[in-house]
Amino acid sequence: MNMHNGAAAAEPKPAGGRRTRRRLRLAGGLAPYLWLAPSLLLIILVTIFPIFELFSTALSKVSLSGVKKGYVGLQNFSNVLRDPVFWGVLKNTLIWTVGVVGISTVLSLGIAQLLNQEFPGRRLVRSALIVPWAVSLIITSVIWRWILDYHYGALNLILQKLHLIDQNIYWLASPATSFPAMIGVGIFVTIPFTSFLFLAGLQAIPGELYESAGVDGANGWSKFVHVTLPMLRQPLMISTVLNTIYVFNSFPIIWSMTKGEPVNQTDTIITYLYKLAFVAHKMGDAAAVSVISFLLLLLFSVAYIGLVMRRE
């Protein structure tokens, strides 16, 4: 928005002498940056500086109490990469991210379509959908842990009452059940944001497009494939990039439901690095893991956006 102001100040002046024009151009060139300076300063302070610190920690030997003891090159990275646990955790992170982002994107497409229809009580349903997003993530996760609890959980109770099981199931004990359950919770809290993004995108599609597609004889499915999906490309891109970053970095769900146990089998990178840093006190290794995940996300974002942009 600041850019607009700068441009507006320069543009409306009628063409005058060369000097004035140059001065104007100069002012027009500087003004935006002047406007941007405070935010740039903030970004440097709260983003660039910590990232610099992170890289410097990742390349240092850090004692158990947190004192930096000089540079060690890539020692921390080789420690991490040689640890088989890291690769298991990376695999979990991949399943976790692709599972949550993929499934919630597909479900949200459907939900957005539904919410875009006229039906009685639409406003109520729309506002109800916001709730899982509005509630704190930790609260949601803890409530789900209670629902899935072995001794007192509501899910076991319901299943027993329906005579579907005759013995309680220990949902959060084995990764075979706990990991899918956590992915489910992840999807549950990701859907609101994604559906609303898509809903906004759907509302921006002009109705005439569907009408003319209908005239050309397109049925519901081909309307969806040839009109809706292409028109939703931008929201799809934004939701995928943002969701991937959020979900990849999501800590509360796993931490409050299984803490990554047993034996790191439900850890993702973020819980693993938290344990490295604050439980095992291996700050250098933790920083190295953090740098790796930072680079992975950067790589993904650049590759994905590049792919989408090129198609445009």
**Where along the sequence are the contacts to another protein (CB under 8 A)?**
39, 42-43, 45-46, 63-68, 150-151, 170, 172-174, 197, 200-201, 203-204, 234-235, 258-259, 261-264, 275, 277-283
Instruction: Choose between 24 and 246: whose C-beta lies nearer to another protein.
Output: 246
Instruction: Choose between 98 and 139: whose C-beta lies nearer to another protein.
Output: 139
Instruction: Choose between 140 and 266: whose C-beta lies nearer to another protein.
Output: 266
Instruction: Choose between 66 and 306: whose C-beta lies nearer to another protein.
Output: 66
Instruction: Choose between 279 and 307: whose C-beta lies nearer to another protein.
Output: 279
DSSP string, 117-161: S--TTHHHHHHHHHHHHHS-HHHHHHHHHHHT-TTT-HHHHHHHH
Q: How far is the CB of 299 from another protein (least distance, A)?
A: 22
The C-alpha atoms of residue 254 and residue 261 are separated, in whole angstroms, by 9
Taking the alpha carbons of 151, 153, 159, 160 in that order, is the dihedral positive or negative?
Answer: positive
Tell me the β-bridge partners of 71. Answer: 60
Is residue 100 within 8 Å of residue 190, measured between CB atoms? yes
Q: How far is the CB of 90 from another protein (least distance, A)?
A: 18
Other Cβ atoms closer than 10 A to 138: 13
Instruction: Choose between 26 and 200: whose C-beta lies nearer to another protein.
Output: 200
Instruction: Choose between 115 and 172: whose C-beta lies nearer to another protein.
Output: 172
Q: How far is the CB of 173 from another protein (least distance, A)?
A: 4
**Where does residue 259 fall: left (phi above 0), alpha (psi -120 to 50 degrees), or beta otherwise?**
left
Other Cβ atoms closer than 10 A to 232: 21
Q: How far is the CB of 45 from another protein (least distance, A)?
A: 7
Instruction: Choose between 12 and 208: whose C-beta lies nearer to another protein.
Output: 208
Q: How far is the CB of 16 from another protein (least distance, A)?
A: 34
Alpha helices in the chain (DSSP H): 2-10, 18-43, 49-58, 75-82, 84-115, 122-134, 137-147, 154-161, 175-203, 207-215, 220-223, 229-231, 233-248, 252-257, 269-278, 283-311
CA 150 to chain centre: 30
Q: How far is the CB of 147 from another protein (least distance, A)?
A: 15
Going by C-alpha positions, the residue among 236, 246, 229 that lies closest to residue 304 is 236
The C-alpha atoms of residue 118 and residue 211 are separated, in whole angstroms, by 17
Q: How far is the CB of 83 from another protein (least distance, A)?
A: 10
Q: How far is the CB of 203 from another protein (least distance, A)?
A: 5
